[in-house]
Amino acid sequence: MPVLTRRTSLLLGGGLVAALALQGCGGADTDAGASSGQRQDGGTLVVYAAPNPAFDPRQSYGWLNRALSDSLIDRDPGTGKFVPWLAQTWEHNEKQTEFTFRLRNGASFSDGTRVNAASVKANFDGVMQDLAAGGGWYVRGQFEHYVETKAVDENTVVVKFSKPNPSFLTTAATSQLAMLSPGSFKIPLEKRRTEFVASGPFVVEKYVPDERLLLKRRDDYTWGSALSKHQGKASIEKIDVRLVAEAGVREGALTSGEAQVAEAPTVDGSTLLEKQGNRLYWRATVGIPYSLQPNFKKPLARDLNVRRAVLKAINRDEISKNVTGKTAPPATSVITRTLNGYKDFSALLKYDPAGARKILDDAGWKPGADGIRVKNGQRLSLVITGSAEQKPIQDSMVLIKEQLKAVGIEITIKPETGIGPTWWQTGADLWFSGNKSSEADVLRKMYQNDGTKAQPWLFSDSAEVSSHGKRLQEVLQGQAVEVDATKRDQLLAEAQEILIEDAIVIPLVEHESGFVAAAPRVHGLRLDSLSNLVVYDAWLGK
């Protein structure tokens, strides 16, 4: 893509992510059959959703974020094109160190505060505040070179970085940089997970943790994204969210008519719901696929030969076919095919048990009497942990255990409730996890040398666990400031290759996001560029 120079409008430009990088999405991501002329006003949308302890868009992700908050710009998930939202126009200088936004008139937060240059400045300064407080996970790394945000006038704001930031606009178009009312940044991070003020089409009327969340529309809302199918207030008057952990109960509520939307149905359940006439909405997650993340504090996880053998011994096609289904195809890289800079490395991820056995044989791991390999008196035994609440993860780990046993690696599964950043303290060698991100720079955030500050299970120097020396760090840091799209993609491709060759992360399957089943009378649903469901355009038919 040509470099856009200062004072060149981005309204007609493509975006930092090429359209080709967005192909490969599956499932229904829009309600193509509903026209705006049929739209009906009013009604309550009942949603049976999985419990989520947070809906602050900067600390979590999901469809609730988009119901409650807006961003400066939006991005078409099909073309990668940026479009107006709270900002009418925007531009950047040639080095992509300075970004100027001109805001629309009339937008406000639900506490009455105007969405103006001062509030935008408070939001970007708030990122630095969140980072200092230990938050800001989704934008960590992207604000390393933040200088300041300057309010030029009431509706014009300039964001400055000391080094090029080619991934900034892509993130600015997601809920991860959604605009909050300045007063929200006075609330401690933990409390702000559910107590904040934003400018979205809905506001929270009632919240009972782990039970119910009731949203009501803002009747004064007139500033929807340019991707919206209508303008003005939402058609749905209220959204009644019932928080239910059991997927079967959520599916049953949709079948009985008690609910109009069931979140995160199971593979078998979604098939049945679709046969009943319900519509499935989902899109491949944008970011890092389901993977095994090594705990580099553990000796066996630091062993390059062991990691490479694990990578080769896993049959990703079998996991997809027998466990995760069509919504989760085999991973073909360490980032999903929906992300910028993606390159297909499926050849390196080919199921190769013979190759795994040879690696272990050559490294001195010899099969014991029970088939499990031993070296210097130590059994080749690894512990895998993952979410106890998600059946596909549990079933996948059981299958992986069988696959690794076939090459002489013993696996113990340790399910964890509320698994998260403290997983490594369980003593596990590998963590079954994924990561949602709008930008391939997530690889730098995850695997740069100082990543141990936020992720203690990583390394302080990748050269200690990589056969490529310091090259991984060179390409990760280089791509972050490379404004030439072709050169940046080349650096990102090299980073992906190193991460796979050295099994610094072990990709498994891509997984769906925004996955819901909706009754036929629900119209106007779609998914955004971060694969989150958007309910603003939704309306209820007869």
- What residues does each domain of the chain span? 45-284+513-540, 287-510
Length of the chain: 542
Which residue type does 172 have? Answer: A
Q: How far from chain centre, in Å, is Cα 167?
A: 15
pLDDT band (50, 70, 90) for residue 37: low
Per-residue pLDDT tens over the stretch 233-291: 999 999 999 999 999 999 999 999 999 999 989 888 999 999 999 999 988 889 999 99
Rounded-to-integer distance, Cα 436 and Cα 140, Å:
13
| Cβ atoms of 24 and 284 closer than 8 Å | yes
* 50-59, 293-302, 358-367: the lowest-pLDDT one: 50-59
DSSP string, 87-119: EEEEEE-TTS-EEEEEEPSS-B-TTS-B-SHHH
Q: What is the CATH number of domain 45-284+513-540?
A: 3.40.190.10
Contacts of 71 (CB under 8 A, 6+ apart): 85, 86, 172, 173, 174, 175, 177, 178, 179
What percent of the chain shows pLDDT beyond 70? Answer: 92
pTM, rounded to two decimals: 0.84
Please return the burial class of 386, using the count of CB atoms within 10 Å of its CB with bins 0-12, 13-18 and 19+.
buried
Angle between helical axes of 471-480 and 485-501 (0-180°, round to 10): 150
Nearest to 90 by CA among 6, 175, 184, 10: 10
pLDDT reported for residue 235:
97
Query: Apex CA 289: angle with CA 70 and CA 228, to 5°?
Result: 25
Q: Tokens in use for 471?
A: 């090259």
Instruction: Evaluate the CA torsion angle 510, 515, 517, 522 in order and state its sign.
Output: negative
Contacts of 2 (CB under 8 A, 6+ apart): none
Element (H, E) at 498: helix 485-501
Q: How far apart are the first and last CA of the chain?
A: 47
pLDDT reported for residue 456:
86
The dihedrals phi and psi of 22, each to the nearest 5 degrees, come to: -100, 0
* Cα–Cα distance list, 525 to 95, 108, 514 (Å): 38, 24, 11
CATH homologous superfamily for the domain 287-510: Dipeptide-binding Protein; Domain 3 (3.10.105.10)
| Cβ atoms of 31 and 523 closer than 8 Å | yes
